[in-house]
Amino acid sequence: MKHNKADDIDGWLVIDKPRGMGSTQVVGKTRYLLHANKNGHTGTLDPFATGVLPIAFGEATKLVPFVTDGEKEYEFVVEWGKATDTGDTEGKIIATSDKIPNREEILATIPHFIGKIKQIPPMYSAIKINGREAYKLARQGQTVAMPEREIEIYELELLEEYTKSAKFRVRCSKGTYVRTLGADMAKYLGSEGYLSELRRTKCGNFSLKSTILLDSLEKVEYIDKRRKLLLPIETSLRDIAEIAVSAEDARKLSMGQGLSPKSYPTVKPTELAAAMFCNCLIALVRIDERKISPVRVFHNIIKKELTDVDNK
């Protein structure tokens, strides 16, 4: 089947991002390989980092904030004794130390970095300062005060020790800079440190088990076969109520109309959000005692599915 122009396709493609490639480059590459009109990524990974990078296509882009706001998990290696201006191998060495912490010291330090902690993000980050990305200012030699932020570390464990480095696993909230975590741990230990490896193993509801390598995707000969690798848009949802609705109510939701909670007595008014289904994901809604209100509506999928319902 030939494809002369880009198509509207919907779903998730979870890429195991290779080192040395930016997240935006991966978005462009996958859009080309699947001949898609619209896609975008969740949770930027630096070119230095590898691992789970969920790419949303079509209607799935409406769920990007739900994935970005979710928990993340990483494995990373801290090299002791040196600090770089970027916090990873891409930067210049700005400080050194002869101190190489031992296992007992590392294990005693870990509890201090679990829970809600404060971080000052690195200058080489995508955080915007007065409308401009901090890393662009840094490359121009400008120094700006980065705003401190509160993040949460749910789990942090030592996986392996090497001669002058150590490997860790961390499960953390959105907004966590693992480069900063590594550097802060090193300073707490009386040393300096930077990340020599960073690999994201989970992003929201997606893990390495869901990923495909870009090289493997390119080797799939036909576009239609590549598209079969897409995961359904609802794959990204977690910890959310799922409610079946009639075709009539699905049409109402598709037009932005609310529903009466009385029609769905099992739905608790205290639910903050729910996913409404009618053979497919129709909408995400907010619920109160008076109304079920659509927050995100998946028009392209609704159109196809309701047409199929009418034809049966």
Show which residues are catalytic. 46
Structure tokens at 199: 């690999």
Q: At which residue do the structure tokens 């029609």 appear?
A: 263
Whether 236 and 40 have beta carbons less than 8 Å apart is answered as no
Q: Supply the angle between the helices 247-254 and 299-311 in degrees, to the nearest 10.
A: 150
Residue 111: CB partners within 8 Å, gap ≥ 6? none
Q: Is 81 left (phi over 0), alpha (psi -120 to 50) or beta?
A: left
Q: Where are the beta strands (DSSP E) in 5-114?
A: 11-17, 39-41, 50-57, 72-80, 82-84, 93-96
Is the sign of the CA dihedral 2, 302, 11, 231 positive or negative?
A: negative
Dist CA 199 CA 18 (whole Å): 10
CA angle 121, 127, 130 (to 5 degrees): 120
